Amino acid sequence: MNNFTFYSPTCFVFGRETENQAGSLVRRFGGTRVLIHYGGGSALRSGLIDRVRASLEGEGISSVLLGGVQPNPRSGLVYSGIDLCRSEGIDFILAVGGGSVIDSAKAIAAGTVYDGDFWDFYCGKRIEKALPVGTVLTISAAGSEGSPDSVITKEEGMFKRGASGDAVRPRFSVLNPALTETLPPHQTAAGITDIMAHLYERYLTNTAEVEVTDRLIEALLLTMIHEGPRVIADPHNYDARANIMWAGMMAHNNSCGVGRSQDWNSHNIEHELSALYDCAHGAGLAVTMPAVFSYVMEHDVMRFAQAAVRVWGCSMDFRHPEVTARAGIEAFRNFLVSIGMPKNFEELGAKEEDIPALVHALCWGNGRQGSISGFVTLNEEDCGKIYRMMV
Amino acid sequence: MNNFTFYSPTCFVFGRETENQAGSLVRRFGGTRVLIHYGGGSALRSGLIDRVRASLEGEGISSVLLGGVQPNPRSGLVYSGIDLCRSEGIDFILAVGGGSVIDSAKAIAAGTVYDGDFWDFYCGKRIEKALPVGTVLTISAAGSEGSPDSVITKEEGMFKRGASGDAVRPRFSVLNPALTETLPPHQTAAGITDIMAHLYERYLTNTAEVEVTDRLIEALLLTMIHEGPRVIADPHNYDARANIMWAGMMAHNNSCGVGRSQDWNSHNIEHELSALYDCAHGAGLAVTMPAVFSYVMEHDVMRFAQAAVRVWGCSMDFRHPEVTARAGIEAFRNFLVSIGMPKNFEELGAKEEDIPALVHALCWGNGRQGSISGFVTLNEEDCGKIYRMMV
């Protein structure tokens, strides 16, 4: 195991009606004037924003609203949010929504107290300082409620890139599984896929002897396999929603990824798809992961065989472990299709003729030097082959 | 899943030579004058205390030493520590040792800033305020490095009781697996047993539909089953030590126990044994758990069958699940014996004739009203039967 530091000082308040504690939580973590950041109108229409605002007002805390965050959140709104925070004297940002809203809130939080362009953080500069952020989560997917990470798409060039820093770890996150019951099935399934991707990205490691994190990742994957179909069959299954919500946080706060190298090539390859086609990130990952895994499987057949046996219940073919490894990837693909995820470019809305542009953006965009690295280093030719496997 | 709050703001610094970061960590978390609390002479003899002290001095931080913590730490030293902290103007307590040292440090931390008798906290009063505590861990076992809990034995009456409060969660914990390589095999095995007990106490729940925490607990048990024998066979297997150390923290910081009722009857039943015979807590648990589990198995046969299949690799007897459940308990007992743990009163150094006194102390001591409650409520008769099963 590699040396590491793990610091997750987020206070998670989990369960029914916990959004009514938003006011006392903001007060506890020092906020006095709040930007409530949200996405489309559903948080308004459902009355969630009203309940959160009432909770703040109950503590004598004033707030300003900034809605309009899109899936695959854009830099334009981040710049507006930074201006608003500065002009309104905001000292706390409360994200009410899913990963896109939280990521946008984190970008605004970092940008407000930074003299330069906030995009610097998305070109590799570590976030060292930010306004405090809290969240009221409405989608189990990105894990941003417990992570130091944020992903934003820059409109000029449509680059989708990530930034990180403990300063943007949420001070608190309110996790009420009931808030996710009204999501359309496609969004629920895309969230499930995203959570499983966060687990596989950590599973694909080149660090030896990491049994504890292997087992934790497998545990969370097994949870998703059990609960995913149950929540697709019955969107109002609170317990299934609850198990998925905690798994989604645990999948990405890195308690199961410490001390090991991680992959993240599937995320990088997918980011070009959602940047170009504005598809759901999880849907893009559903198409991307089986292709990537099949392409890199030979790098460590036994790791894929282990996942096949321990997670997917495949029988081990001791003479031909690659058969078992492949069966595990196939079982994963079938699972994703069973919950309603797309399986190829066509179903995703992507186009074969765009592959050269996708490869170029992936391997050369935003400072990259012709390849992406992770479990395996992939050059332009590799990436082109992988995109073509998805057609 | 039940509503819950999970807040684990401890900074874990993990890996080789990380004890040399103690000084910068104390500074980061606000300490200027430190009590270094430790146990027997091994931390001194090995040079660990010198290295930690040098690290503090490197940051210009002065320190006072207080050693002598025994296994099953006593209230007497806590009172001395409180006096010392007050007279020396201590503002940070650094525990260098295992769970006993850390628990003693937490008691001193709470008692120093409390007007009454610190034992109030061990009679049910929540710890709301304490000096900040940091740890340099030398034994994987108690999980106190990441928990809000502390267990102390009061000399008058030899009551062993627990206290809890977020105020005594360590600000940081330095986890260097190499520091555990010199432990005698019996202590290593007792630590493994304690970690597995923390997992089983959470596993035995009456809360339905808690797949995510079931799976996480199983993952950590599987890790212990894999790594336990490896570290007993080769005490210098750093990777096995590392996996056990992270599993030990995760087993008890409650990330795998949230939102579900928990048992803790095995701990309560064992505490009377280590209080009376001063045996290693883990050794006592090794004798206690199989008896308790066999006694309460019928309360939820399917839960024990699930553990048998998922954790111990037993085949499911679908017509007679109780056979599978029993096989899982037997497999656990055999595992504990295989790593060198005792299997009965005699091997533990306990005496059958003390059972009435053990039962009385357990069921009536320190404010209890004739029974203990958890997965199943156990009265005096039940507890007597359980102790007799261990003979």
Q: Among A120, A150, A179, which residue terminates a domain?
A: A179
pLDDT of residue B3: 98
pLDDT mean over A104-119: 98
Judged by a CB distance cut-off of 8 A, whether residue A216 touches chain B is yes
Q: Which of B4, B6, B223 to mutate to test the interface with A (most CBs of A within 10 A)?
A: B6
CA distance A242 to chain B (A): 7
Angle between helices B265-277 and B281-296 (to 10 degrees): 140
Nearest to B219 among A3, A8, A216 (CB): A216
List all residues 6 or more positions away from B338 whose beta carbon is below 8 Å from its beta carbon: B229
Helix (H) or strand (E) holding B160: strand B159-164
Residue B219 lies in a domain: yes
Which chain B residue shows the shortest CA-CA distance from A3? B15
Say if residue B366's pLDDT is above 80.
Answer: no
Judging contacts by C-beta atoms under 8 Å, the chain A residues touching residue B258 are: 14, 246
Cross-chain Cβ contact B1/A242 below 8 Å: yes
Virtual CA dihedral for B84, B85, B86, B88, nearest 10 degrees?
80
3-class secondary structure for chain A? CCCEEEECCCEEEECCCHHHHHHHHHHHCCCCEEEEEECCCHHHHCCHHHHHHHHHHHCCCEEEEECCCCCCCEHHHHHHHHHHHHHHCCCEEEEEECHHHHHHHHHHHHHHCCCCCHHHHHHCCCCCCCCCEEEEECCCCCCHHHCCEEEEEECCCCEEEEEECHHHCCCEEEECHHHHCCCCHHHHHHHHHHHHHHHHHHHCCCCCCCHHHHHHHHHHHHHHHHHHHHHHHCCCCHHHHHHHHHHHHHHHCCCCCCCCCCCCHHHHHHHHHHHHHCCCHHHHHHHHHHHHHHHHHHHHHHHHHHHHHHCCCCCCCCCCHHHHHHHHHHHHHHHHHHCCCCCCHHHHCCCHHHHHHHHHHHHHHHHCCCEECCCCCEEHHHHHHHHHHCC
Two tokens at A219?
């545990």
Q: CA-CA distance, B345 to B140, in Å (whole number)?
A: 25
Residue B6 lies in a domain: no
* Phi, psi (rounded to 5 degrees) for B25: -70, -40
A207 plus A171 within the same structural domain: no
A207 plus A261 within the same structural domain: yes
Judging contacts by C-beta atoms under 8 Å, the chain B residues touching residue A11 are: 5-7, 9
CA A350 to centroid of chain Cα atoms: 21
Q: CA-CA distance, B84 to B74, in Å (whole number)?
A: 16
Judged by a CB distance cut-off of 8 A, whether residue A388 touches chain B is no
Please report which confidence band the pLDDT of residue B158 belongs to, taking 50, 70 and 90 as the band edges.
confident
B149 plus B16 within the same structural domain: yes
Please report which confidence band the pLDDT of residue A160 belongs to, taking 50, 70 and 90 as the band edges.
confident
Q: Residue A104 sits in a domain of what CATH number?
A: 3.40.50.1970
Contact between A374 and A264 (Cβ < 8 Å): yes
* Phi, psi (rounded to 5 degrees) for A92: -160, 135
Please report which confidence band the pLDDT of residue A94 belongs to, taking 50, 70 and 90 as the band edges.
very high
B41 plus B130 within the same structural domain: yes
Judging contacts by C-beta atoms under 8 Å, the chain A residues touching residue B242 are: 1, 209, 259
pLDDT of residue A366: 72
Q: Residue A385 sits in a domain of what CATH number?
A: 1.20.1090.10
B149 plus B210 within the same structural domain: no
A77 plus A108 within the same structural domain: yes
Cross-chain Cβ contact A223/B212 below 8 Å: yes
Please report which confidence band the pLDDT of residue B61 belongs to, taking 50, 70 and 90 as the band edges.
very high
Contact between B227 and B244 (Cβ < 8 Å): yes
Residue B4 lies in a domain: no
Cross-chain Cβ contact B1/A209 below 8 Å: no
pLDDT of residue B40: 85
pLDDT of residue B157: 81
DSSP state of B8: -
Nearest to A12 among B1, B6, B215 (CB): B6
Burial class (CB within 10 angstroms; exposed 0-12, middle 13-18, buried 19+) of A385: middle
Judged by a CB distance cut-off of 8 A, whether residue B42 touches chain A is no
Q: CA-CA distance, B368 to B359, in Å (whole number)?
A: 12
Residue A1 lies in a domain: no
Judging contacts by C-beta atoms under 8 Å, the chain B residues touching residue A239 are: 1, 208-210
Judged by a CB distance cut-off of 8 A, whether residue B242 touches chain A is yes
pLDDT mean over B240-260: 97
Residue A86 lies in a domain: yes
Cross-chain Cβ contact B255/A258 below 8 Å: no
Q: Which domain holds residue A104?
A: 11-179
Q: Can you tell me the ipTM of this complex? A: 0.96
The count of CB pairs under 8 A between chains A and B is 131
B170 plus B191 within the same structural domain: no
Burial class (CB within 10 angstroms; exposed 0-12, middle 13-18, buried 19+) of B302: exposed
Residue A109 lies in a domain: yes
Please report which confidence band the pLDDT of residue B367 belongs to, taking 50, 70 and 90 as the band edges.
confident
pLDDT tens track for B71-124: 889 999 999 999 999 999 999 999 999 999 999 999 999 999 999 999 999 999
Judging contacts by C-beta atoms under 8 Å, the chain B residues touching residue A226 are: 211
Q: CA-CA distance, B162 to B378, in Å (whole number)?
A: 19
Judged by a CB distance cut-off of 8 A, whether residue B14 touches chain A is yes
Q: How many domains in chain B?
A: 2
Q: Among A163, A179, A195, which residue terminates a domain?
A: A179
Judged by a CB distance cut-off of 8 A, whether residue A331 touches chain B is no
The alpha carbon dihedral of A70, A75, A77, A81 has a sign of: positive
pLDDT tens track for A188-245: 999 999 999 999 999 999 999 999 999 999 999 999 999 999 999 999 999 999 999 9
pLDDT tens track for B310-329: 999 999 999 999 999 999 99
Judging contacts by C-beta atoms under 8 Å, the chain B residues touching residue A2 are: 15
* Phi, psi (rounded to 5 degrees) for B165: 170, 135
Q: Among B148, B179, B210, which residue terminates a domain?
A: B179
B167 plus B223 within the same structural domain: no
Judged by a CB distance cut-off of 8 A, whether residue A6 touches chain B is yes
CA distance A81 to chain B (A): 29
Residue A6 lies in a domain: no
Burial class (CB within 10 angstroms; exposed 0-12, middle 13-18, buried 19+) of B273: buried
Contact between A169 and A26 (Cβ < 8 Å): no
Residue written as tokens 């009163």?
A: B345
Burial class (CB within 10 angstroms; exposed 0-12, middle 13-18, buried 19+) of B298: exposed
C-alpha angle A6/A8/A10, rounded to 5°?
A: 175
Judged by a CB distance cut-off of 8 A, whether residue B29 touches chain A is no
Residue written as tokens 């905690």?
A: A246
What average pLDDT does the structure give for chain B?
Answer: 97
- pTM beyond cutoff 0.95: yes
Contact between A170 and A10 (Cβ < 8 Å): yes
pLDDT mean over A331-350: 98
Judged by a CB distance cut-off of 8 A, whether residue A219 touches chain B is yes
Cross-chain Cβ contact A226/B211 below 8 Å: yes
A111 plus A189 within the same structural domain: no
Cross-chain Cβ contact A239/B12 below 8 Å: no
pLDDT tens track for A264-322: 999 999 999 998 998 999 999 999 999 999 999 999 999 999 999 999 999 999 999 99
B153 plus B239 within the same structural domain: no
% of chain A with per-residue pLDDT over 90: 95
B62 plus B161 within the same structural domain: yes
More confident residue, B161 or A371: A371
